[in-house]
């Protein structure tokens, strides 16, 4: 089987099956072997691993994953691509293709059945329109994952890895970093895809934490603080929380809690670290 990372082979397969990229599924086919090698290297895959691939498309990345991993579970939403995958993945005996929407799958049960005790790593070239919902589901459900290595929009990857005080830092940065340690592995220009997307992409690896990096009494409340702080980014944190319907605290109570931590009542959310948000969450419990 010809390697699909070669643009010529990709075009031949698409023509053979009469397939076109479906905009509704955010499909862009990767046509750069160097990028494919970088993804597999960043994911640190071994023959001991089960790899969950979300959105295999025509099997371009899947071929590389089958070569590197012990077993691959590829979940594809587009029914038109199932026969294509049967063709392109025919040489590999270590891959299972599921026709399903990953957001509807009972992932805990599916992974337990397929992994058979193997370490589980997620590797995917994710559709941009549903990147964050997929990633947050993978993180929030406490699945037995070692890491998540994905190709996503560069701007979103930068937000996930951003530090406090930077313009990219926000609720997504805090949420991701609570569950995982992000590492930006590679930048990928639009000309590496067919068709070319309008934005640049990046490969990011999220190494799942065995324990959260901060201790907080009510994690759900802390996550609401993340949302409040960046829903009105230009406002002070006290004003943002006071205006946020998802929390019961007034501007004055938030200001009091901030000052009890040695922080200014006029501070903005972008200036606080994850540790400080955790401390603020706990402090708000004492002033209300």
204 domain-assigned: yes
The last residue of a domain, from among 208, 230, 254 = 208
pLDDT band at 37 (very low <50, low <70, confident <90, very high): very high
Together in a domain, 251 and 159: no
The pTM of the full predicted model, rounded to 2 decimals, is: 0.93
pLDDT band at 11 (very low <50, low <70, confident <90, very high): confident
pLDDT in tens, 57-104: 999 999 999 999 999 999 999 999 999 999 999 999 999 999 999 999
72 domain-assigned: yes
190 domain-assigned: yes
Together in a domain, 274 and 155: no
Token pair in block for residue 111: 């992974």
pLDDT at 13: 86
Together in a domain, 131 and 63: yes
Alpha helix positions (H), 122-273: 131-140, 154-161, 171-179, 219-231, 237-243, 251-260
pLDDT in tens, 200-217: 999 999 999 999 999 999
1 domain-assigned: no
As for how many domains the chain has, the answer is 2
Instruction: Give the C-alpha separation, 127 to 220, whole Å.
Output: 28
Together in a domain, 39 and 125: yes
pLDDT at 124: 95
pLDDT band at 188 (very low <50, low <70, confident <90, very high): very high
Q: In the chain, what are the helix, strand and coil shares in percent, each to the nearest 5?
A: 45, 20, 35
b/e map 217-256, b = 16+ CB within 10 Å = eeeebbbbbbbbbbbbeebbbbbbbbebeebebebebbbb
Together in a domain, 234 and 163: no
Together in a domain, 223 and 195: no
């Amino acid at each position: 089987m010809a390697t699909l990372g070669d643009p010529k082979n990709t075009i031949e397969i698409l023509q053979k099956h009469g397939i076109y990229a479906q905009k509704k599924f955010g499909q862009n086919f990767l046509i750069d072997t160097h990028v494919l090698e970088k993804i597999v290297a960043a994911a640190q895959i071994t023959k001991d691993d089960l790899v969950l691939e979300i959105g295999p498309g025509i099997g371009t990345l899947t071929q590389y994953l089958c070569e590197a991993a012990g077993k691959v579970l590829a979940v594809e939403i587009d029914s038109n691509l199932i026969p294509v995958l049967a063709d392109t993945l025919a040489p590999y005996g270590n891959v299972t293709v599921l026709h399903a929407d990953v957001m509807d799958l009972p992932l805990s049960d599916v992974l337990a059945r397929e992994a058979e005790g193997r370490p589980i790593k997620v590797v995917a070239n994710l559709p941009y329109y549903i990147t964050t919902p997929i990633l947050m589901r993978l993180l929030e459900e406490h699945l037995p994952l070692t890491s998540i290595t994905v190709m996503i929009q560069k701007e979103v990857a930068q937000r996930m890895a951003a530090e406090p005080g930077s313009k990219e830092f926000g609720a997504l940065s805090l949420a991701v970093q609570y569950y995982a340690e992000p590492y930006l592995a590679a930048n990928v220009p639009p000309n590496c895809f067919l068709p070319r997307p309008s934005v640049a992409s990046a490969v990011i690896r999220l190494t799942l934490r065995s324990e959260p990096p901060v201790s907080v009494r009510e994690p759900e409340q802390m996550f609401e603080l993340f949302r409040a702080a960046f829903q009105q980014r230009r406002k002070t944190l006290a004003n943002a929380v006071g205006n946020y319907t998802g929390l019961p605290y007034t501007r004055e109570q938030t200001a009091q809690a901030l000052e009890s931590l040695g922080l200014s009542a006029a501070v903005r959310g972008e200036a606080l670290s994850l540790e400080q948000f955790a401390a603020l969450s706990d402090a708000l419990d004492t002033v209300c």
